[in-house]
């Protein structure tokens, strides 16, 4: 087909505009005058909208898991009283548990908290598992603690935290690795349930103009599901899989070796680890302590993280490591430094989040060739409460995008379902740096629209080793195209936040939005 439109953006940075695209066999065959001449006998399409743009990517998303399952309570934005009211209306999952996700204690009144006694009163014989919005903490009742074998004497190392009341009794809160005994007994999610959630998540992302998704944590078991779907041409979205680095069956995958799809549909060549927890649950590992004196959680000892990273990358695997705090970011950079330069150059190590980075560590992204995978919407939500738990000088290190920009390639994402999946909200936040209350935060660290649009297109493609087929609309690239109701280069940042996708083509095929 020949696509005609007066403003077709081929790339985001540098900006390159044309007025014609020739699409053949799912690829861009020609642009501009050459497209018009070669496409005279093709079907002609003239989309509406302010402009056409390369389809976006979400470089850090969870397409299933993290509590996304049937009959789950969505507790996002609720007060403690509202959570109790939701629990009063709740019906157990078919497996006999009460599941909830997205509670956020930073939205509660000071000193307000969930009470183990209240959970027990409502569900004395039914286990309850309520997952925090960042997925790094759960609140459970006594039945769940009993089933998991967690008693008053339960202790956890530096890689987790156990909540207790003033008398030292368990209060039902488990953070990071302390969650494992409960998670190990949760009823298994079937492949059919995960597939249904995956397909619905993909439909949602495509409505926002997203054609490819970097699945930021996947079990070895679910790799087979993706491969079956690809073999049947049933993948609903291009998928770049980051395999759980702590999966007991990881050795089977490592023995088979990395799988890279040059067509950009399904690659399984990355392994993901966690260096720390999340800031909201005070699990992010910091160089200096939080206001309460704690330092956060180290999921792995630095030497263990370095050894695993070195072994994997020198065996041909890309390594992506979650690091929220500045202490964790430093340890991740140290781990990447242990890898030979040639392996870093070819495999492109990823630091997932880069949410807090000390100034002295920023230039190391360039010297170590590390990609910064960022989720701008985290700023919008996290800085609302950050000053309550961090010191002023620590807040200055949060979301240091301008400070990192000279040294790294950004890959933009959402971290859905932890945060807002709409990429246009993230793009606007990166430009404006306003929190959910409309207050500006360190605006000197803002990105330009070219930089952040590139992060969701070319940058994300580079992070997935798909830069030769995705992220741009040039001859030879996949015809992943979106029609937008407004031009992101001429609208205000506030207007960009309201962007709507009017039409989409995935590999040259129209998508039903």
332-358 pLDDT, tens per residue? 999 999 999 999 999 999 999 999 999
Is residue 285 over pLDDT 90? yes
Is residue 95 over pLDDT 90? no
Is residue 66 over pLDDT 90? no
| pLDDT (0 to 100) of residue 227 | 97
| pLDDT (0 to 100) of residue 63 | 96
Rounded CA separation 106/382 (Å): 9
Beta-strand runs (E) in 408-480: 410-412
Rounded CA separation 105/108 (Å): 5
What does the pLDDT look like over 299-309, one tens digit per residue? 999 999 999 99
Is residue 71 over pLDDT 80? no
Mean pLDDT across the stretch 428-433?
98
Mean pLDDT across the stretch 123-130?
97
Rounded CA separation 35/4 (Å): 9
pTM value is: 0.91
Is residue 170 over pLDDT 80? yes
**3-class state of residue 255 by DSSP:** helix
Q: What are phi and psi of 308, to 5 degrees?
A: -65, -40
What does the pLDDT look like over 452-482, one tens digit per residue? 999 999 999 999 999 999 999 999 999 999 9
Q: Which residue has the tokens 């053949």?
A: 24
């Amino acid at each position: 087909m020949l696509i005609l439109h007066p403003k077709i953006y081929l790339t985001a940075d540098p900006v390159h505009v044309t007025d014609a695209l020739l699409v053949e066999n799912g690829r861009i065959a020609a642009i501009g005058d050459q497209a018009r001449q070669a496409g005279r006998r093709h079907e002609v399409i003239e989309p509406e909208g302010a402009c056409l743009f390369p389809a976006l990517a979400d470089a850090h998303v969870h397409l299933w898991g993290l509590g996304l399952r049937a009959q789950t309570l969505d507790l996002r934005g609720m007060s403690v009283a509202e959570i109790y009211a939701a629990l009063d209306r709740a019906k157990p999952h078919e497996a006999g548990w009460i599941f909830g996700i997205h509670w956020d204690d930073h939205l509660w009144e000071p000193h307000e908290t969930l009470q183990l006694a209240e959970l027990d009163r409502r569900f004395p014989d039914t286990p309850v598992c309520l997952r925090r919005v960042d997925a790094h903490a759960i609140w459970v009742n006594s039945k769940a603690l009993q089933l998991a074998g967690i008693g008053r004497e339960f202790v956890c190392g530096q890689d987790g935290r156990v909540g207790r009341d003033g008398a030292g009794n368990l209060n039902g809160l488990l953070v990071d690795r302390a969650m494992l005994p409960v998670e190990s007994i949760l009823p298994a999610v079937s492949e059919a349930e995960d597939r249904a959630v995956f397909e619905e998540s993909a439909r949602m992302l495509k409505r926002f103009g997203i054609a490819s998704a970097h699945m930021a944590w996947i079990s070895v078991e679910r790799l087979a599901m993706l491969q079956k779907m690809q073999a049947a041409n049933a993948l609903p979205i291009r998928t770049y899989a980051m395999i759980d680095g702590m999966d007991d069956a990881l050795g089977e995958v490592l023995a088979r070796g990395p799988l890279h799809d040059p067509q950009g549909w399904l690659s399984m060549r990355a392994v993901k680890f966690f260096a720390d927890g999340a800031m909201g649950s005070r699990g992010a590992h910091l160089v200096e302590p939080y206001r309460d004196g704690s330092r956060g959680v180290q999921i792995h000892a630095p030497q263990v993280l370095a050894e695993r990273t070195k072994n994997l990358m020198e065996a041909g695997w890309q390594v992506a490591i979650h690091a929220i705090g500045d202490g964790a970011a430093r340890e991740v950079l140290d781990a990447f430094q242990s890898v030979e330069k040639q392996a870093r150059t070819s495999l492109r190590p990823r630091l997932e989040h880069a949410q807090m980075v000390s100034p002295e560590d920023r230039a190391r992204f360039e010297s170590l060739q590390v990609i910064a995978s960022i989720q701008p919407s985290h700023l919008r939500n996290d800085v609302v409460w950050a000053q309550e738990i961090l010191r002023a000088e620590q807040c200055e290190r949060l979301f240091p995008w301008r400070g990192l920009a000279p040294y790294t390639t950004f890959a933009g994402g959402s971290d859905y379902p932890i945060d807002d999946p709409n990429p246009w909200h993230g793009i606007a936040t990166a430009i404006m740096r306003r929190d959910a209350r409309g207050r500006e935060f360190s605006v000197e660290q803002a990105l330009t629209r070219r930089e952040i649009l590139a992060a969701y297109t070319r940058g994300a493609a580079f992070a997935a080793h798909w830069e030769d087929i995705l992220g741009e609309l040039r001859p030879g690239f996949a015809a992943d195209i979106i029609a937008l109701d407004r031009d992101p280069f001429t609208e205000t940042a506030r207007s960009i936040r309201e962007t709507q996708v009017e039409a989409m083509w995935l590999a040259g095929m129209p998508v039903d939005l």
